[in-house]
Amino acid sequence: MAFKSIDIFALSFLLLLASTVSQATVFDLNTYGAKPNADITQALANAWKDVCAATSPSKLVIPSGTYTLTEAKLLGPCKAPIEVQIQGTLQAPAVMTKASDNWVVIERLDGFTLNGGIFDGQGKSSYGKHCAKTDYCGKLPINIRYNFITNSIIRGITSLDSKQFHMNVLGCNNVTFDHVTVTAPEDSPNTDGIHIGRSTGINITDSNIKTGDDCISLGDGAKQITVVKTTCGPGHGISVGSLGKYPNEEPVEGVFIRNCTLTNTQNGVRIKTWPDSHEGTASDMHFEDIIMNNVGNPILIDQEYCPWNQCKLSVPSKVKLSKVSFKKITGTSSTPVAVKLVCSGGVPCENVEVADVNLAYSGPLGPVTSVCKNVKPILSGTQTPSTCATAAA
């Protein structure tokens, strides 16, 4: 029932906002001097001033064509609902002339719609050159930042070859991502498709994400997050976390991932927390009706997440996980351990449910199996492999 009510609310909101912007005053970027194959940074800044100042709903149209864009900041608050309709392609500089983690920033808007267009981060020239293991490519720009926007829709856009995260969602409330496409090579580092942190009521529907890191990642403070009818792969899967690295992280609550397909990803659906962590909680997380096609670690709780061995595995995680379910998950695993539930020895997982799982191993290394540690899951329905067949060392 929770899934159904959230979906109906999201659909009703989409229809309401679409009706509002359909009667909008149109601002055409051509009238501000924009020309294809030229830089539109200043033209967009000038147009945004007028659109944001409009006292009735307005639409900013970027016509078809390819445009270069050095940087854009679409900042509010504004006086009325706004739609930005992009009919062409925006290209970031291939080579950054200054250190910045911003390219397009959309901030402090209410009743905002971003409709269509390709955001080409031109990141291929950066891949492998600026991403030392210690900085996570942090000095490179994110294609689109959504900061503190509310009651908004992101529809039909494509994020291509971002130099870092494709989209970062921070401090947002009641935002729907519909028919979003993310495309980057499998070896592109730290190019999470959609990262969500400290936001409530975020819906991702009918989207297709191919990238080099997590397709969707949820940081601390992510609450009431719904992902439906979305495909992922290549990439690292759909992840909650990693959590516990920093002090004062906010709880993760209410995560609903269903009717999704993952193909050739390093992981499937996973929850990850650091050992020797700060205290935290993550609860009410549910993964249902998921198809796995040749996926490594299809079902994974990893409270010993320790990339590059830069942490103390001997000290258990202090992040408490509870009310977690994995239901109706089928397909093939590219690793022998198809179900791995490794919880904290300090604060063991509680109320973990595994139901109707049917996963076959697609490789040559032996029968499909599972591993459990510091967890006593509630089991029902099909259990292939048999859940908790082996205790982790």
Active-site residue set: 236
Judged by DSSP in three states, 30 sits in: helix
C-alpha 114/C-alpha 156 separation (Å) is 8
C-alpha 174/C-alpha 201 separation (Å) is 5
**Order of strands, sheet of 167-170, starting from the edge strand that comes earlier in the sequence:** 72-75, 102-107, 142-147, 167-170, 194-197, 216-218, 238-243, 269-273, 299-302, 337-342, 369-373, 390-391
The dihedral of CA 383, 387, 390, 393: what is its sign? positive
Q: Contact, 283 vs 321, CB < 8 A? A: yes
DSSP bridge partners of 288: 258, 327
Cα 305 to chain center, whole Å?
Answer: 19
Phi, psi of 285 (to 5 degrees): -120, 125
Exposure on the CB side of residue 335, measured as CA atoms within 13 A = 17
Q: Cα separations (Å) of 306 from 165, 216, 309?
A: 21, 19, 5
